[in-house]
Structure formats: structure tokens, C-alpha cells
Homo-oligomer: A and B are copies of this chain.
């Protein structure tokens, strides 16, 4: 096994001395045989094989968990926690567990919350955190630390880290935030600071690669059911009623896809990974017309990133670009609603027709994490702590095939998790919804 497997290496701090894990002296834990994780404990990145193909290599990641030897003297730790970007269920649970875990497992006593995202490092006062303060945070949506987009000023941030003496930095945020974390890690290394940097990917869209799924995602799928049910009721209670739900997912359709598979009320699910077209044979209108004819109503779920290239742009929208230089997103739900109305008005001017459009975005992302995600956030935070205490840096924790592992931060920042439309799961969606395979239709 061993020689055929390549293991993803992790950066580690170098200037600190090894010492015994304080759990070792904790009369309470009695770490049993097998409790500590060693560097030879790995998680395979791939579990599905085609045995007829001999050429497949093994890749493995270091398993997450407590190490017998750590690199920090707990009383010298000064940890900073920051949350960046949009809201996602579970952020407060992650913060809470970082605080409780550092405090109770390792005896760390200096833990600071950076308010309002990256800019908080250099423009606001940090908040001292302790278990009593964060006691009920996991029952609240949003982030008590507050968050914001942008504000990434590398130099000012690393200056602030240095000046405040933070030697552990926990960064919770999306892909842009993770790319920022890589830069912070690089700059911290360049300055030869003994600061452990770890990223905790936060993306309700579930668009981060390598890990099984991101926290808050299951809660989002659960909450999306309410919107789909409401759209279904509206559609069913009308004559030729269409219920249209826009769900989160700028570049990936995971929420839309999972919400569709979890519900049974959806007739068609449109995602960014799959092209579609409205008019003509095999198009969406033809499909909906058939559904209305058969059932009298239809429910449509669309991920916010779907069909962007089809939405007509005004001149100013053609110029407007976001911080990353991409064209700004247009509202696919509003566009689709009006396209549907125009189509029907044109084709069936005398027949009743209703489109009810629901955009539940802020009602989904602002709720507290459900039980599944709360548990996930807890294990995630504890994994991160164990890794940082052991001296790893520039890494991310996360579940791989159900087991928590450590992954180089840079790798996570570069990988995207898209829906694989040639996967059986996608075929299943189509079989569940009987929805058209627009791409094949078009080619055909």
C-alpha cells in the first residue's frame, strides 16, 4: 500500500519546539491507544475504482486529529478568528467551537474575534472571546463577528497580525477569501513569522473542491424545500401555473440539484454546468408547454448562475465588472419570469397563465445550522485546532470520503467543485424530473 501512494505534503512551522500535547496530562481524557493521529495516518482521496484500469495512482491526505506532540506552548498562543464574505449557516458554530476547543482542550486563553472581515484586522478593534461569551452562538444565524466583502489589504493585514502578536489565524470565508489566505500565508512565511494560518472554506454553494461538502450546505438544501413547496402550491392552485424558484449557486448548481432531488415537486432544474435554451424543439418552452398540458402546472428551479450568457445586457451591464473582473451577474429569475410571460402571451394570448417567482436567498442563508451541519462545524473546528497546534500551517481541514483530513490551502484555493453532468447523480435528476437533456437535444 505504502509505496504506491503519494501523500499531499503540508507546510509546517519550523521555529518552535515540540512539546507534549496537554491532553496528555489532562486527568479527564485518558487518551486511549489509537487516540492520537500520526503522520502516517492518511485518507485516500479516491474510493471508486475501475479495476480494469491498472494505471490509477493512489493519492492520500494526512488525517486530521490530535497529535501527541504539539508546537505551541498554550499560554503563548494568541489566536485570531475572522469571517469574510456572505452569510452561511454554521459560521457561528465554527467560531464557537474554535473558542471552546482552544480553551478547553488546549488551555489557550487569548482568543480574538476580528470584526467585519479582512478589513477588521487593520481598521477595527478585535473582540476578546471566551467560552461563556460564545455559549449560545451556535443557535444564531449569521456571524456575531460580522462580515464584509473585500477589504483585503495584504500588507496592512500582515502588519496587524505582527503588531498584535497573533500566532494562530483562523480564516473563515469563500474562494476569494481562501485565495487571500494563501497570500497571507505566503507573506507570513516571507517575513518568517511563526504564525499558523488555516483556512475554513465557507461556501453555501458547495463549490469548493476536494472536500466532501462545505458546511451550511445541508441546511441550505433543507431550507430550500420550503420555497419549492410554496412554489408548488402556487403553481397547483392556478390554471397553467408556473412556480419559479431561484436558488443560490453562482458557478455551480449543487443546491439546486440537491434541493430538486430532495423534493419531488420540481419539473425542471437549471444549473450553470448545463446549457439550456428556451425556444424551439427540445427547448424549455416546449417542455413546459407539455407539462402544463399534462399536469396543469409546473415547478422550475434555477441556480443563480444558470443561463447568464442568455440574458440580454444593457450597454452599461456590458461594461460593469465585479472585483475579479468578471461581468456582473444578472438576475436569472427575473429574466426567466418575464421571458415566460412573453412567451405565453405570444403563444396563448387568451389562456390564463401565472408565474410566481420566489427568491428565498436571504431566508436560506441567514438561518442557524441544522443538526447535521452543527455536528460538521464542530468536527471541522476541532480538526483545525489540532492541526494548527501540531504546527501545520497553510492548510485546510475537511472531510474526504467521510474522514477529516488536512489539505494544502493552495490546493483548495485552486480547485472548483462543479456538478459533473456525466455522473449518474445527474442522470438520476433527469430521471426523477424527466427533464430534457437540453444539450443532447440541441446537438440532436
A positions within 8 Å CB-CB of B: 1-2, 4-5, 7, 28-35, 37-38, 40-44, 47-52, 54, 56, 58, 60, 63, 65-66, 87, 96, 100-101, 104-105, 115-116, 135-136, 138, 140-144, 146-148, 212, 218, 221-222, 224-227, 229-231, 233-234, 236-239, 258-259, 261-264, 296, 352, 356-360, 362-363, 366-367, 370-372, 374-375, 378-379, 382, 400-403, 422-425, 427-428, 430-432, 434, 436-437, 440, 444
Contacts and interface: CB of A to CB of B under 8 A. Distances in A.
Given A47-B47, A226-B363, A401-B402, 17 more contacts: A1-B51, A5-B49, A30-B444, A38-B50, A40-B50, A40-B51, A41-B51, A42-B50, A66-B427, A104-B434, A142-B233, A224-B371, A225-B371, A356-B362, A358-B363, A360-B360, A401-B401
Given A48-B42, A138-B264, A431-B101, A35 B422 contact: yes
Nearest to A117: B239
Given A47-B401, A49-B1, A424-B37, A262 B371 contact: yes
A21 to B, nearest CB: 12
A115 to B, nearest CB: 8
Given A212-B402, A403-B47, A437-B30, A237 B35 contact: no
A19 to B, nearest CB: 19
A428 B371 contact: no
Each complex incorporates copies of this chain amounting to 4
Contacts of A101: 431
Contacts of A51: 1-2, 5, 7, 40-42, 60
Interface centre among A41, A56, A259 (most CB of B within 10 A): A41
13 contacts: A1-B54, A32-B422, A34-B422, A34-B423, A35-B422, A43-B47, A65-B424, A87-B234, A115-B239, A221-B371, A233-B367, A263-B374, A357-B362
